[in-house]
């Protein structure tokens, strides 16, 4: 299979057509081989316009996916990443979004709660020469305070809410990009840290797969 041709078709037919115009984002998708991050048995399908399963669901965690190209590209464009940015990715998974971020940012810390996924992601990223990415393990909802503060926190999946623990790791003027909510009603949001106050803006609907660890605690109602 001609993966380079498939990659170009993905960009032309799935990403450009959904109002993604950022040259840096488009170039990142043209550069990073999506097929390298999916299971060997699924490589021929790596460029279909769907989420790609990389880890099945368990009793304690939902299934994990590589995000569909169009919403991922729109979120990366929304993040307005520059080479000066230090980025924290929440939910590294197989490492595909981390590779894209590495093309856009100065350095990336990618946190993953699944140790097996984290190990595979780090190996793939290293093999592909993405030396400005460090994969770390830990609870996604806690981020990675050891390397904070960050210019950007990129949440690679949908969440029910954004914990304060993540917002506290933003630099002054830093932003967090996440899909908040589940299903077709979920919205892409940007949370901006300005002098210790968090402002929030909502941008577009994005139905993406959820990350583990971000469900709100249920309150007892009389």
Within a domain: residue 76? yes
Question: What pLDDT digit, counting tens, does each position of 39-48 carry?
Answer: 999 999 999 9
CATH of the domain at 178: 3.40.50.150
Query: Is there a domain that residue 199 lies in?
Result: yes
211 occurs within a structural domain: no
Residue 7's domain spans which residues?
3-205
| Residue 24 to residue 26: CA distance in whole angstroms | 6
pLDDT tens, 171-210? 999 999 999 998 888 999 999 999 889 999 999 999 999 9
| Per-residue model confidence (pLDDT) at position 217 | 65
The per-residue pLDDT of the chain, averaged, comes to: 94
Residue 216 domain-assigned? no
Residue 75 host element (H or E): helix 69-79
pLDDT of residue 222: 55
- How far out from the chain centre does Cα 44 lie? 23
Task: Tell whether the model's pLDDT for residue 218 goes beyond 90.
Answer: no
- Read off the pLDDT of each residue in 151-159 and give the average, rounded to a whole number: 97
Mean pLDDT of 130-147: 97
Residue 221 has pLDDT above 60, yes or no: no
The answer as to whether 215 is a domain residue is: no
Residue from 101, 88, 81 nearest 28 by CA: 101
Residue 218 lies in a domain: no
Quick check: is 111 in a domain? Answer: yes
Q: Quote the CA–CA distance of 90 and 180 in Å, as a whole number.
A: 14
pLDDT in tens, 60-119: 788 999 999 999 999 999 999 999 999 999 999 999 999 999 999 999 999 999 999 999
Contact assessment for residue 102 and residue 108, using Cβ atoms and an 8 Å cutoff: yes
Q: Does 163 map to a domain? A: yes
Contact between 69 and 10 (Cβ < 8 Å): yes
Query: In the chain, how many domains are there?
Result: 1
Q: Residue 85: which of 67, 68, 109, 65 has the closest Cα?
A: 109
pTM of the predicted protein model: 0.94
Check residue 183 and give its pLDDT: 82
Count of beta carbons in the 10 Å neighbourhood of residue 165: 12
49: buried, middle or exposed (CB in 10 Å: 19+, 13-18, 0-12)? Answer: exposed
What pLDDT does 3 receive? Answer: 96
pLDDT of 196 reads 82
């Amino acid at each position: 299979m001609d993966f380079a041709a498939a990659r170009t078709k993905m960009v032309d037919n799935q990403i450009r057509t959904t109002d993604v115009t950022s040259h840096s984002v488009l170039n990142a998708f043209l550069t990073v081989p999506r097929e390298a991050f999916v299971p060997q048995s699924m490589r021929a399908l790596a460029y279909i316009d769907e989420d790609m399963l990389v880890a099945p669901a368990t009793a304690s965690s939902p299934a994990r996916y590589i995000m569909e190209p169009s919403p991922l590209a729109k979120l990366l464009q929304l993040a307005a990443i520059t080479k000066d940015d230090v980025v924290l990715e929440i939910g590294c998974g197989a490492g595909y979004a981390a590779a894209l971020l590495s093309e856009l940012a100065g350095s990336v810390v990618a946190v993953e709660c699944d140790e097996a996924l984290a190990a595979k992601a780090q190996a793939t990223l290293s093999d592909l020469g993405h030396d400005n990415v460090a994969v770390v393990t830990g609870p996604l909802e806690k981020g990675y305070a050891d390397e904070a503060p960050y210019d950007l926190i990129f949440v690679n999946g949908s969440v029910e809410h954004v914990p304060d623990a993540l917002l506290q790791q933003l630099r002054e003027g830093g932003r967090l990009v996440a899909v908040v909510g589940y299903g077709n009603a979920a919205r892409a949001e940007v949370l901006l840290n300005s002098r210790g106050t968090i402002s929030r803006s909502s941008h577009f609907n994005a139905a993406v797969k959820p990350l583990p660890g971000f469900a709100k605690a249920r309150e007892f109602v009389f």
